[in-house]
Amino acid sequence: VIAHLDLDAFYASVELRRRPELVGRPVIVSGSGPRAVVTTATYEARAFGVHSAMPTTRARRLCPDAVLVPPDFDAYRRASSDVWSIVCEHIELVEQAGLDEGYLDLGELVAPKAAMRRLLADIRERTGLSASVGIGPNKLVAKVASDLEKPAGLVLLSREEACERFADASPGLVPGIGPRTTERLAALGLPTLRALREADPALLRAHFGENTGPHLQARAAFHGATELTLDRELKSQSSERTFDYDLADAQRQREILSGLARDLFERLERRGLRGRNVAIKVRLDDWTTVTRARTLERPCAAADELARLAVELLDAYAPARPVRLLGVRVGTFVADAQAPAPEAQLSLGL
């Protein structure tokens, strides 16, 4: 038995907790630049059609009376850590899957629903935050169930019930099947989960590959992982920036990319991480996105070196149009005996 716990409108709720005068008003957590997007919106703002990832300019038009609050990720991290400490007092096996959601292995618990009710009450009492829980036989069913009666929902579902209940729903209901895949499935005459479940496996393999084809069909039947992933290792780290206005000047591009590289190196340093793969990302004004990468013999060991490599990659590509985004990424981390990655300690603490 697995539960998925999801905090309701998490970032917005943290903001409301310290600004109670805003309770009941539509609140949008978002940056303020011309190209900002919505991070989270309260349910009052969602009633106007506002949702995460929507351009903030559009959200303002939909809901002119909304209060805009800039994101404060340090505060969200602190609140998140409070919540997950409480969860860990109740349940032994916990997989945190982001600041605001995670999976709980309820094992052979006799009364899972009652246990989750107690947990939700405890979280609400001690943090003032509301969460929703879904309970099912695997992570997929649990996650879909947690979404059903948000906010403050508590839903238990078997795999068979999920199949029945969502037979006519769009494949996009399933996490992992996004807009692009939903569209391609519809074009193949598979507009529902039932159709996807009953489709010819060969057809799916032909269109989505040997792995993804069968995977899609399994998801449609609500088969999912029954084991939690307790110790995830970071695979890459990156830093990127979208400009308020497109940038055509090559020298300015180099300067900004160097700055991003130095920032990134500092963050890696703090975690004791060194990587062999260095990549840049360039998004042009027409939204074409290009990445260029290089793998080194030895891990990159200095901020200057990372900055130099990034600029070399940029010069080799030499963007032919104005640029709206620049980014740097480092991956393929190597084990470093002198500076063990703090992830190990983090998961022990959890």
Which of 99, 104, 140, 155 binds DNA (CB under 7 A)? It is 99
Q: How many Å apart are CA 29 and CA 304, to the nearest integer?
A: 35
Q: Is 74 in the site for DNA (CB under 7 A)?
A: no
Minimal distance, residue 38 CB to DNA, in Å: 8
Which of 19, 57, 187, 302 binds DNA (CB under 7 A)? It is 57
From 15, 95, 101, 149, active-site residue:
101
Q: Is 130 in the site for DNA (CB under 7 A)?
A: no
> Residue 341: left if φ>0, alpha if ψ -120 to 50, beta else—which one?
beta
- Nearer Cβ to DNA, position 115 or 319? 319
Strand partners, 333: 275
User: Which residue has tokens 């630049």?
Assistant: 33
Among 256, 326, 267, 258, smallest CA distance to 291 is for 326
Map the footprint of DNA across residues 307-346, applying CB under 7 A.
324-325, 327, 329, 331-332
Q: How many Å apart are CA 170 and CA 167, to the nearest integer?
A: 8
- Nearer Cβ to DNA, position 291 or 345? 291
Which of 43, 55, 68, 122 binds DNA (CB under 7 A)? It is 55
Minimal distance, residue 110 CB to DNA, in Å: 29
Nearest 10 degrees: Cα torsion 342, 348, 349, 350: 110
Contact 226, 141 (CB under 8 A): no
Residue 164 appears among annotated catalytic residues: no
Residues in the chain, overall count: 350
Please identify every residue annotated as catalytic: 101
Footprint of DNA (CB under 7 A)? 31, 34-37, 39, 52-53, 55, 57-58, 97-101, 143, 174-182, 208-212, 234-242, 267, 277, 279, 287, 289-295, 324-325, 327, 329, 331-332
